[in-house]
Amino acid sequence: MNRSNEHPGFERVPEGRGFMSSLGILYMHRKRPILALRITQQHLNGLGHPHGGMLATLADSALGMLMAREAGLPGVTVSLSIDYLSPGRLGDWVEAHVQFDKLGQRLRFGGCRLLVGERCLLKANAVFAVPRPHST
C-alpha cells in the first residue's frame, strides 16, 4: 500500500543506497521543502521511541536533499546542531520541514524541524559546503 495517499502532495523517494537505506521508505513533498517518513519498528530504540540518531539522520538527509533540489547541486554537511524536544511514537508520520537561510555558491545554511502534526520532535541547524568540481 502506498501510504503517501494519506498525505496529499507527497511522492515516494526512490530507495536509498548504503546508509540511506536504513531510513526506510521516504516521501518528498512535490512543491514544499518537506521530507517525510512513517516511524516503523526498525526506527525504535530500546525504550520504544524513535532513536535519536535516526531522527538526526532524517533531519540531515532532509536538509541535504532539499537544498540540492532547490540549488541544483549537492552539498556535504559541515556542521549540524540538534535539539531534541519531544519523543516520537511507533506509527507517527514525521515531516522534516526545511527552511533555507542562505544558498550560496560555496556554503548553504538552513534549519529543519521534525513535526508530527503540530508537535515538534526535533529542531536542527546546519551548514553545508558545495564541493568544488575535481580537475582532470
pLDDT in tens, 34-50: 999 999 999 999 999 99
Q: Provide mean pLDDT across the span 63-82.
A: 93
Can you read off the three cell numbers belonging to residue 79?
A: 556542521
DSSP string, 4-40: GGGSTTEEEPPPP-GGGGGG-S-EEESSSSEEEEE--
pTM greater than 0.85 = yes
Return the higher-pLDDT residue of 2 and 46: 46
Residues of the chain above pLDDT 90, percent: 78
Give pLDDT, residue 133. Answer: 78
List domains and CATH numbers for the chain. 3-129 (3.10.129.10)
Read off the pLDDT band of 7 (50, 70, 90). Answer: confident
Read off the pLDDT band of 4 (50, 70, 90). Answer: very low
